[in-house]
Amino acid sequence: MSFRSNLSALICKTRIDQDCYLPTDKTNVKMPLIKKSTYRVPSFIFKNRHLNTIYASQIRKVEAVNYTRERINTPDDDFIDLDWLYADNERVVIVCHGLEGAADRQYVKGMAKYFHQNNWSVCAYNYRGCSGEPNRQIRAYHSGATDDLEVVMQHVLQKKYRTIVLVGFSLGGNLVLKYTGENAKNIHSEIKKTVALSVPCHLASSSEVIQQSQNWIYMKRFSVKLRKKVEAKKDLLIAQGFDYDSLIKAEKFEVFDELFTSKAHGFESRMDYYTKCSAVRFLPDIAIPTLLINAKDDPFLSPECFPVEIAKSHDLFHLEMPDYGGHVGFMTFNKENVLWSEKRTYEFVVN
């Protein structure tokens, strides 16, 4: 079956006004600086969460983004590839992609292009194994790998940028929120703000949501990509005692995270990994202006991924919950080909 046939079947199966994973309290909650989201769907068909998600990811194209690649070394004899857009100034935005993404994904390129057009340098961070070449070590990347983000940060700081902003999508959003919170008041003074979009900040519950039947098309794509990376490391995995046969058959996150993510990165189990790396645990400690944008109709998110109570009592953590937008969607049509989420992120950063 073709991609378009799969998309059509998925959209037809889904009620447009589905509210399965929304917080039950729909009263107007006053949150720092945000009364009501300004995102409006371009037409009623984009009220379908899956169409908004898939159109932004698979159909929208962002042109004329010409990165300069830089490879940096990690302390454990591995490498990380950074894709740069340079501007003649002292400010930079570090963009962190989502699960099985990379700097060349449309959502990363769109954000990078908009900031660069506004005279910002951009560092698009490709996680280990995500830049088109397998990394050297058994470890890869995960939702809480802030040690690698710190390696990137130290390298960026050496370039003498005076203003640094973190922007993360989905898994990358969890990463930047965790990094911002766990460093709290000891965060590098150059880091001024953080923006996170479409974030499964409660990993255990969101992993259950994405594995539900209505999300089969996403789970299929993720499992195919993860399987290719397992195949690329077959000899290394077997040599270090991983259950390769079970890993290569894994079609759900709970299996992959139990057999690989937790074991390869020093966690006792997948639940230990989910608990320790969920960004929601670190939000109360955030000490710089931070914005989380999670659409109420995001097909990947559980109710626990909408930390309303934390936002209500926090002076610096801002939560914005558009009614629509899907997952890293927020489709917008204009002659500049700029999404609402890109303009909203920039607006928060500069104001």
Each residue's pLDDT tens digit, 54-111: 999 999 999 999 999 999 999 999 999 999 999 999 999 999 999 999 999 999 999 9
In whole angstroms, what is the distance from residue 85 CA to residue 90 CA? 13
CA 254 to chain centre: 19
Residues 175, 98 contacting (CB under 8 angstroms) = no
In order of 19, 194, 204, 273, 282, the CA distances from 285 in angstroms are 30, 13, 21, 20, 6
**Residue 25's closest CA among 306, 281, 277?**
306
Task: Check pLDDT > 60 for residue 10.
Answer: no
Q: Could you tell me which of 151, 172, 52 has the C-alpha nearest to residue 100?
A: 172
Q: Is the pLDDT of residue 137 over 70?
A: yes
pLDDT band at 119 (very low <50, low <70, confident <90, very high): very high
Distance, CA of 20 to chain centre: 22
- Distant-in-sequence, close-in-space partners of 198: CB < 8 Å, separation ≥ 6: 98, 169, 170, 173, 293, 294, 295, 298, 300, 301, 325, 327, 328, 329
Q: What is the mean pLDDT of residues 326-340?
A: 98
Q: What is the DSSP string of 69-116?
A: EEEEE-TTS-EEEEEEE--SSSEEEEEE--TT--TTSHHHHHHHHHHH
Average confidence score pLDDT of the chain: 92
3-state secondary structure of 254: helix
The residue written with tokens 């894709």 in the block is 83
The distance from CA 184 to its chain's CA centroid, rounded to whole angstroms, is 20
For residue 34, the model assigns a pLDDT of 67
What share of residues in the chain are helix, strand, coil (percent, to 5)? 45, 15, 45
How do residues 267-300 score in pLDDT, each as one tens digit? 999 999 999 999 999 999 999 999 999 999 999 9
pLDDT tens, 120-130? 999 999 999 99
Q: How confident is the model at residue 23, as a pLDDT?
A: 40
Helix axes of 216-232 and 3-13: crossing angle, nearest 10 degrees? 140
Indicate the pLDDT class of residue 32, thresholds 50, 70 and 90: low
Residue 267 is encoded by which pair of tokens? Answer: 């966690």
Distance CA 53, CA 255 (A): 25
Which residue type occupies 154?
Q
Q: For residue 20, what pLDDT is reported?
A: 35
Torsion angle (degrees, nearest 10) of CA 304, 310, 312, 315? -140
Q: Is the pLDDT of residue 27 over 50?
A: no
pLDDT at 19: 37
Q: Where does the chain have alpha helices with state H?
A: 3-13, 49-54, 106-117, 146-157, 171-183, 203-210, 216-232, 234-239, 244-249, 253-256, 262-264, 270-277, 308-312, 340-350
Domains of the chain: 34-202+278-350 (3.40.50.1820), 207-276 (no CATH)
Token representation of residue 88? 């003649």
Structure tokens at 212: 């539900």
In this structure, the dihedral spanned by the alpha carbons of residues 134, 79, 328 and 4, taken in order and rounded to 10 degrees, is -20
Q: Is 160 left (phi over 0), alpha (psi -120 to 50) or beta?
A: left
Q: Residue 338: which of 22, 20, 12, 42 has the closest Cα?
A: 42
